[in-house]
Amino acid sequence: MESGYLSREAVKDLLAVREGESQYLRNRVDSLEAENENLRKIISNLQASVDAKASKWNIE
C-alpha cells in the first residue's frame, strides 16, 4: 500500500463509523423534535391554565 492511502478495510471501517454517527444524529434529532413537541404541549397547557385563571379574576 502506498503512503498516504488507506486500505479498503480502513475505508470500510471509516464508512461504517460515519454511518453509525449519521444514524446516531438522526436518532438524536428525532428525540429532540419529540421533546420540543412535548414542551410545546406543556407550554400550551400552562398558557390555557393562566388564561382560565385570568378570566376567573377578570385579568387580561
Say whether pLDDT at 1 is over 80: no
Helix H, strand E, coil C: the string for 29-50 is HHHHHHHHHHHHHHHHHHHHHH
H or E element that contains 53:
helix 8-56
pLDDT on residue 2? 61
pLDDT tens digit sequence for 18-36 = 999 999 999 999 999 999 9
* Residue 1 forms part of a structural domain: no
Instruction: Note whether 12 and 4 are within 8 A (CB).
Output: no
Q: In which band, very low, low, confident or very high, does the pLDDT at 60 lie, cut at 50, 70 and 90?
A: low
* Residue showing cell 419529540: 34
* Residue 49 forms part of a structural domain: yes
User: pTM of the prediction?
Assistant: 0.65
The domain in which residue 45 lies consists of 7-60
* Residue 2 forms part of a structural domain: no
Closest CA to 45 of 29, 37, 28: 37
- Rounded to an integer, what distance in angstroms lies between the CA atom of residue 60 and that of residue 43? 18
**Percent of the chain with pLDDT strictly greater than 90:** 75
